[in-house]
Amino acid sequence: MRTPYTSYNLTPLFEARNVQMYFYLRPSLLARALTRAQTKIVQAVDGVNLSIWPGETVGLVGESGCGKTTLGRIFSCLLEPTVGQILYNGIPVRGGKINTAPQGGKPPQQVKYHRVAQIIFQNPYSSLNPRKTMREILTTPLRQRHFRDPLEIESEIIRLVHRVGLSERHIDHYPHQFSGGQRQRIGIARALAMQPSFIVADEPVSSLDVSIQAQIINLLEGLREEFNLTYLFIAHDLSVIHYFSDRVAVMYLGHLVEIGMTRVIFDTPRHPYTQALLAAIPFIRKEMRRKRILLSGGVPSPINPPSGCPFHPRCFAKAGKVCEEKYPPYFQVENQQVACWNYSAYPEVNSDGTNAHSNPGMETR
Amino acid sequence: MTIAQPLLEIRDLSVVYPTRRGDVRAVDSIFLRLDPGSKIGIVGESGCGKSSVLHAILRLIRKPGKVSCGDILFKGHDLAQLSMKEMRKLRGKEISMIFQDPQTTLNPVFQVGEQIRESLQIHHIIPGKSWPLFFGNAHRRLQRERVFQAMSEVGIPSPADRYWAYPHQFSGGMQQRALIAMALACGPSLLLADEPTTALDVTIQAQILDLMRQINQEHHTAVILVTHDLGVAAEFCDTIAVMYAGRIVEQGPVDEVVTQPQHPYSRGLLACRPRISDKGKKIQPIPGNVPDIVDLPNGCAFSPRCPLARPICNEGPVPMFQTSEISFSRCLALVNFERIPTWSWEHIVRV
């Protein structure tokens, strides 16, 4: 674990403010005519506030179906949230574009959001176009950066390819000619080609072999130091999150239930869900194993989420009736923010640690 | 003292898949011995042949692939000698298997309960023939009672309602439980689990491993667990066999393999996983890629990626070195890189 090169006094580089993402499952015309089936709403992300400061790595962890990939896509502007917005340096992002504030007499400029934020996808087998060579895949982002001269493009591609540890001999190969690890390297090179300051890594290693995973993690780590990148690192593998992130946000059924520095979360998890999640990690060494907390059942469906705290049907440490009735706000327990009624004695805060009752626009830290 | 007969003994097993580019030796001279009630883990990366071992035990290797040599003895009987009919009786009743992806293993067009009932009926745990129409319902109800029992044993809540659910109405963990119910309904003495938790979340994985542990203790069922996750294997098994490119490179009791791995590949596997217990420790990736199994080097298949490799590693077969009563490792470093020309892959050399 490293110390992040960031100061939490600055404006966050990226911020999600009350982001909600609903997907509508509309039954077919026939089904509606015959069975009066109603349109169902999947609440994939439900009111998430998350700030990411420059230079830090935020790990987003949760089980499948909890909305972490959706949140990652919202952060990379591939999805427009139903409610709420993404802010870049305090400026709202609209339609994939940022209107920068006028500075020193200069007129306001419009910047494409994809110039500052890029995404690495989970599955390197389906995220590369099988009909394009590596050269073509990497040329597209370079054209976005207004590269025109073929020689310049060529040298830039070679530079990128070398940086991610591939050989320039393979520059005209198609994706199927590469192994899984190499394909993921192409995906990383494609993201880097835009020279972003922020990369959303959506489970970048979970479909790779164990011995290749470490290579990719080390590559991402090297790039972080070299370009001072900010990451939103999405994974379900807790040991990878522990290794790679500065802060951890734990997600459950569309809500962030606990946020804190990595060391704090892993040493003293407060939310019952985090505790259960950490207890479920299989450990190689016997002495490290925690007391098992077995949760009953699986994650409930986001189509029909439970009332109150979404975790209460599986929770083993319920605070009382209030859990079933009201969604808990965040409580500041020492250095972490926990959404659990067990900690209602602690002060109420926003998820980024600011006072809950202050004006969100006028953040004072 | 007589040595108890092992439940399963695999001797010098090889599985070959012919391809246009040449024969792929997915499994290459493997020896395994499994006592009743024991838990063995086979660990390796994708393509190392670990699933082929399980398929070979059940004689499920698809043509043109075949078991090219070796014997598999189950309770003293050679499985290769059995007729198709006898083999079919054995599958599911004596040896059952849980597959990696529960979604594709269950039939999407039949109710889950009916699928469990069918497997019980085939193995005559419940009588198959339906009585005349008049008594049919009562009889069916009795059959169903037995299925409910099997379902509640693996922790499926309210089996009476879940019986009629289709697989897509089950979550991944529940589907896997249904498959385990099916596998265990006939009380097998050997359970083959092919990455049973890979498709599941960590909290569900903990539930399923707990269930399998409980079954192992209560019914004394032996388990072969195939996984790529050393952590899962270390937590569940007594013995671990590490496979690389079709061969077992290290085998021994869990604690020994995990704390003092003898083979550089097992060491690499342990060092390349970030661990929560080691704060601030850098992970050490294994360089290079998983080898193409068609043209393996003449000697040790791991030598191109090995930090200890010397030219002698590629000069010929590397035998299994027995380091203690129950631990084996396939690395020339154990004998200071001195080779005897008569060694073959099947040899076991005491050091």
> Which residue among A210, A211, A236 sits closest to B202, beta carbon to beta carbon?
A236
Nearest CA in chain B to A283: B231
Query: B175 pLDDT exceeds 80?
Result: yes
Distance CA A83, CA B281 (A): 42
CB contact under 8 A, A212 and B172: no
Chain B contact present for A347, CB below 8 A: no
Share of chain B above pLDDT 90, in %: 35
Distance CA A166, CA A365 (A): 44
Distance CA B114, CA B165 (A): 9
Chain B positions touching A244 (Cβ under 8 A) are: 274
Share of chain A above pLDDT 70, in %: 91
Q: Please check whether residue B291 is in contact with residue B48, taking contact to mean a CB–CB distance below 8 angstroms.
A: no
Query: A355 pLDDT exceeds 80?
Result: no
Chain B contact present for A291, CB below 8 A: no
Q: Please check whether residue B187 is in contact with residue B219, taking contact to mean a CB–CB distance below 8 angstroms.
A: yes
Q: Please check whether residue A122 is in contact with residue A202, taking contact to mean a CB–CB distance below 8 angstroms.
A: yes
For B234, how many CA atoms within 13 A lie in the half-sphere containing its CB? Answer: 21
CB contact under 8 A, B203 and A63: yes
For B15, how many CA atoms within 13 A lie in the half-sphere containing its CB? Answer: 29
In this prediction, residue B275 carries a pLDDT of: 80
Query: A239 pLDDT exceeds 70?
Result: yes
Token readout for A210 is: 């164990």
Q: Is the dihedral of CA A37, A38, A39, A45 positive or negative?
A: negative
Q: Provide mean pLDDT across the span A347-358.
A: 65
Q: Smallest Cα–Cα separation from A82: which of A15, A22, A42?
A: A22
Distance CA B128, CA B151 (A): 19
Chain A contact present for B258, CB below 8 A: yes
Query: A57 pLDDT exceeds 80?
Result: yes
For B249-285, the pLDDT digits (tens) are 999 999 999 888 999 999 998 888 888 776 667 888 8
Nearest CA in chain A to B230: A284
Q: What is the 3-state secondary structure (H, E, C) of chain A?
A: CCCCCCCCCCCCCEEEEEEEEEEEECCCHHHHHHHCCCCEEEEEEEEEEEEECCCCEEEEECCCCCCHHHHHHHHCCCCCCCEEEEEECCEEEECCEEECCCCCCCCCCEEEHHHCEEEECCCCCCCCCCCCCHHHHHHHHHHHCCCCCHHHHHHHHHHHHHHCCCCHHHCCCCHHHCCHHHHHHHHHHHHHCCCCCEEEEECCCCCCCHHHHHHHHHHHHHHHHHHCCEEEEEECCHHHHHHHCCEEEEEECCEEEEEEEHHHHHHCCCCHHHHHHHHCCCCCCHHHCCCCCCCCCCCCCCCCCCCCCCCCCCCCCCCCCHHHHCCCCEEEECCEEECCHHHCCCCEECCCCCECCCCCCCCCC
Token readout for A326 is: 């009201």
Nearest chain A Cα distance for residue B119, angstroms: 25
Write down how long chain B is: 351
In this prediction, residue A360 carries a pLDDT of: 40
In this prediction, residue B97 carries a pLDDT of: 92
pLDDT band at B346 (very low <50, low <70, confident <90, very high): confident
Q: At what angle do helices B112-122 and B172-184 cross, to 10 degrees?
A: 20
> B201 by DSSP, 3-state: which?
coil
Q: Smallest Cα–Cα separation from B10: which of B41, B26, B34, B31?
A: B31
Nearest CA in chain B to A246: B280
CB contact under 8 A, B201 and A63: yes
Q: Is the dihedral of CA A47, A57, A67, A337 positive or negative?
A: negative
> Which residue among B204, B234, B272 sits closest to A298, beta carbon to beta carbon?
B204
Q: Provide mean pLDDT across the span B152-169.
A: 86
Q: How far is CA B143 from the centre of its chain?
A: 31
Query: A231 pLDDT exceeds 90?
Result: yes
DSSP per position, B221-238: -EEEEEES-HHHHHHH-S
DSSP B168: G
Nearest chain A Cα distance for residue B44, angstroms: 9
Q: Smallest Cα–Cα separation from A342: which of A318, A316, A325?
A: A318
pLDDT band at A52 (very low <50, low <70, confident <90, very high): very high
Find which of B39, B175, B201, B242 to mutate to test the A interface (most A CBs within 10 Å of its CB).
B201
User: Could you tell me whether strands A14-25 and A40-52 are parallel, antiparallel, or unpaired per DSSP bridges?
Assistant: antiparallel
Q: Provide mean pLDDT across the span A243-252.
A: 93
Neighbours of A91 (CB within 10 A): 15
In this prediction, residue A161 carries a pLDDT of: 94
> Any bridge partners for residue B243, and if so which?
B248
Between A8 and A3, name the one with better pLDDT.
Answer: A8
Q: Number of helices (H) and strands (E), helices first, in chain B?
A: 11, 13
pLDDT band at B129 (very low <50, low <70, confident <90, very high): low
Distance CA B65, CA B67 (A): 7
Query: A357 pLDDT exceeds 90?
Result: no
Token readout for A67 is: 């909305």
Q: How far is CA B243 from the centre of its chain?
A: 11
Chain B positions touching A225 (Cβ under 8 A) are: none
Amino acid occupying residue A79 = L
In this prediction, residue B340 carries a pLDDT of: 86
> Which residue among B259, B274, B290 sits closest to A240, beta carbon to beta carbon?
B274
Chain B contact present for A123, CB below 8 A: no
Neighbours of A152 (CB within 10 A): 11
Q: At what angle do helices A210-227 and B264-271 cross, to 10 degrees?
A: 50
Query: B15 pLDDT exceeds 50?
Result: yes
In this prediction, residue A287 carries a pLDDT of: 67
In this prediction, residue A361 carries a pLDDT of: 37
Chain A contact present for B44, CB below 8 A: no
Q: Please check whether residue A171 is in contact with residue A134, taking contact to mean a CB–CB distance below 8 angstroms.
A: yes
Q: Please check whether residue B181 is in contact with residue B154, taking contact to mean a CB–CB distance below 8 angstroms.
A: yes
User: Could you tell me whether strands B222-227 and B95-98 are parallel, antiparallel, or unpaired per DSSP bridges?
Assistant: unpaired
For B286-325, the pLDDT digits (tens) are 888 888 777 787 889 999 899 999 999 988 889 999 988 8
Distance CA B26, CA B294 (A): 9
Distance CA A145, CA B67 (A): 56
Which region among A40-44, A128-132, A341-345, B190-194 has the lowest average model confidence (pLDDT)? A40-44
In this prediction, residue B131 carries a pLDDT of: 56
Query: A106 pLDDT exceeds 80?
Result: no
Token readout for B284 is: 């050490």
CB contact under 8 A, B202 and A285: no
In this prediction, residue A56 carries a pLDDT of: 92
Which region among A69-73, A361-365, B284-288, B291-295 has the lowest average model confidence (pLDDT)? A361-365
> Which residue among B235, B269, B274 sits closest to A239, beta carbon to beta carbon?
B274
CB contact under 8 A, A283 and B231: yes
pLDDT band at A175 (very low <50, low <70, confident <90, very high): very high
The complex's ipTM works out to: 0.78
In this prediction, residue B315 carries a pLDDT of: 87
Q: Please check whether residue A258 is in contact with residue A69, taking contact to mean a CB–CB distance below 8 angstroms.
A: no
CB contact under 8 A, A297 and B157: yes
Distance CA A325, CA B210 (A): 32
Distance CA B171, CA B115 (A): 17
Q: Please check whether residue A135 is in contact with residue A153, taking contact to mean a CB–CB distance below 8 angstroms.
A: no
Q: A130 exposed, middle or buried (CB, 10 Å; 0-12, 13-18, 19+)?
A: exposed
Chain B contact present for A173, CB below 8 A: no
CB contact under 8 A, A299 and B235: no
> B116 by DSSP, 3-state: which?
helix
Write down how long chain A is: 365
Chain A positions touching B268 (Cβ under 8 A) are: 211
Share of chain B above pLDDT 70, in %: 95
Say which residue the tokens 């024991």 belong to.
B38
In this prediction, residue A218 carries a pLDDT of: 92
Q: Provide mean pLDDT across the span B79-83.
A: 90
Token readout for A110 is: 């419009």
> B218 by DSSP, 3-state: which?
helix
pLDDT band at B100 (very low <50, low <70, confident <90, very high): confident
> B111 by DSSP, 3-state: which?
coil
pLDDT band at B154 (very low <50, low <70, confident <90, very high): confident
> Which residue among B203, B231, B280 sits closest to A277, beta carbon to beta carbon?
B203
Distance CA B96, CA B83 (A): 18
Token readout for B112 is: 């889950």
For A287-344, the pLDDT digits (tens) are 666 677 778 777 787 788 888 898 998 898 888 888 998 889 899 988 889 999 999 8
Chain B contact present for A243, CB below 8 A: yes
> Any bridge partners for residue B95, and if so which?
B91, B190
Distance CA A190, CA A184 (A): 10
For B110-126, the pLDDT digits (tens) are 999 999 988 888 887 77
Nearest chain B Cα distance for residue A278, angstroms: 9
